[in-house]
Amino acid sequence: MNESQHPQTPRIIPASAEGIALAVQMLQRGELVAFPTETVYGLGADATQDKAVAAIYAAKGRPSINPLIVHVADRDALDAMVRMNKDADLLAMHFWPGSLTLVLPRQEGCAVSPLASAGLPSVAVRIPDHPVALDLLKALGRPIVAPSANRSGKLSPTTPMHVAQSLGGRVPLILAAGKTNVGVESTIISLVGPRPRLLRAGGIEAERIAAVLGMDILDLLADPIVGGRDQKESLLAPGLLEGHYAPNAQLRLNAMHVEDGEALLAFGPVVGPVVGMGKARLVLNLSETGDVNEAAAHLFTMLHAFDEAQCTHVAVMPIPEVGLGRAVNDRLRRAAIRF
Ligand code: TXA
Ligand code: MG
């Protein structure tokens, strides 16, 4: 489909019972629907329809080697798709529904389109913790693949407007239910190797996952970008090697002063003021109380806001590398890279 065939704007409707019914009809026809989850808005397609899954890669401009997450409404739906194991059961019990994605071996006869998992022998699955997402999944009665509802490499959407701004008419329908709670994507744990590994820091703290698995957090950490980036490693987490979360503004991390022309993304009570704060073009604070969960919830919204205010350079104060602070720092590091 070429650009001129896309309508300019998507239809944004409230996620009411009627809205969900319409979304189900469209998904059944193989069309795309954006919907809220507790982390970010997802761009959904029926996971069992090859063409619908292909349409997601096209709408996002996403390389087809980067696999998608399969969303389901309940644990029972999973046995036909993936081979659950002891660790998977333990994590499912503790964190689902919730912001955790598990990468598991693909089950024989799995109905999910192989395109969704980019031909890998594994499938990434999660049960989202959002009433609209769960109602939609139950009403459709099939798994839904959903990457974040933004153009590939751009900021993830935490509001329906973000989706509309990023995808425009590439998504025909957006189910709107306000701002998402968690604000960063799910934590991804791979359970296909000899030991569980963290592939992406996200909405569930890695510390809590390590505690449930009875392992040291260091044993769980795998950094596919910084550490040991050999071919095997990049196959383990294909999407993680790409540029991501790019705002228009250039970010300068761990800043303790503001330079001429910069805006400031603050964190915590800015008492002993940041040097030069008075000259900042715009100051937004991720969390005045220094709460990393609040910082995660505000992160993408504030990066969008700097772009809307046409700030070209943003100084970002340091954020502690604990709990959801890991996910925030991971997104900021990637957002600061210029490819
Ligand atoms: O919170 C979330 O996870 C959101 C909401 C909509 O659920 N979704 C999301 O999807 O963040 P996306 O496509 O932006 O990120 C999916 C990540 C990619 O980095 C991809 O590489 C990884 O999941 N992934 C998917 N399947 C995988 C697999 N079989 N093996 C390893 N990584 C996989
Ligand atoms: Mg994404």
Give me 25's structure tokens.
Answer: 């009809």
Atom of ligand 1 nearest to the CA of 182: 1
Q: For residue range 158-179, what is the model confidence (pLDDT) as tens digits?
A: 999 999 999 999 999 999 999 9
Q: What is the mean pLDDT of residues 313-330?
A: 96
Ligand 1 center to 69 CA (angstroms): 5
Q: Whose CA is nearest to atom 31 of ligand 1?
A: 237
pTM of the model: 0.92
Q: 279 alpha carbon to ligand 1 midpoint, in Å?
A: 39
CB of 101 within 6 A of ligand 1: the answer is yes
Q: Tell me, in angstroms, the distance from the centre of ligand 2 to residue 156's CA.
A: 6
In angstroms, what CA-CA distances link 281 with 246, 284, 312, 313, 315? 20, 10, 10, 9, 11
Helix axes 86-95, 206-213, angle to 10 degrees: 130
State the Cα–Cα distance between residues 173 and 32, nearest whole angstrom: 7
pLDDT in tens, 83-135: 999 999 999 999 999 999 999 999 999 999 999 999 999 999 999 999 999 99
Distances (CA, A) of 39 to 96, 98, 230, 232: 13, 9, 30, 29
Residue nearest atom 15 of ligand 1, based on CA coordinates: 147
Q: Looking at the DSSP assignment, which residues form a beta bridge with residue 126?
A: 71
Closest residue by Cα to atom 19, ligand 1, is 239
Nearest to 160 by CA among 173, 151, 144: 173
* Contact 248 CB / ligand 1 (< 6 Å): no
Nearest CA among 131, 136, 119, 118 for reference residue 20: 136
Give percent of the chain above pLDDT 90: 82
Q: What is the mean pLDDT of residues 35-52?
A: 98
- Helix (H) / strand (E) containing 169: none
Q: Using one digit for the tens of pLDDT, what is the confidence trace for 197-245?
A: 999 999 999 999 999 999 998 889 865 443 344 444 444 555 565 567 7
Query: 191 CB under 6 A from ligand 1?
Result: no
The separation between the first and the last C-alpha atoms of the chain, rounded to the nearest angstrom, is: 27
